[in-house]
Amino acid sequence: MNDDNELNLDFDPDVIRQYFEHLAEDEQLSTVPQKTPVAAAKLKKIVEGAILAAAQPLTVSRIQELFEESFVPTKEAIEEALVALQSSYADHGIELKEVASGWRFQV
């Protein structure tokens, strides 16, 4: 942590990509037609992991870029996941916060 009490974790897009591939294998999504929506509960977990792994705040557009083309969620779906995450962390020592450069967890 730095002086501003920000979490600063290294972001590795390959790790996130491998996670998506693992999810696709688990649910055999690789055979599903184009533009398959990601379930809300799973999207919430993916968004949470991406933000926690990121070295800097993530915008909704940047979160969308983490998905393979056939699984890209809508901006609205990501925003719903972000709001759900904010509620989930309401009683925790960290919070999900939107700042000028995107979304981040902070103390």
**pLDDT in the model for residue 2:** 47
**pLDDT in the model for residue 18:** 72
What confidence category does residue 9 fall into, taking pLDDT thresholds of 50, 70 and 90?
Answer: low
| Angstrom distances, CA of residue 44 to CA of 1, 49, 69 | 24, 9, 18
Across the chain, mean pLDDT equals: 82
Closest CA to 13 of 65, 69, 75: 65
* pTM listed for this prediction: 0.67
**pLDDT in the model for residue 33:** 47
For 47-95, the pLDDT digits (tens) are 999 999 999 999 999 999 999 888 899 999 999 999 999 999 999 999 9
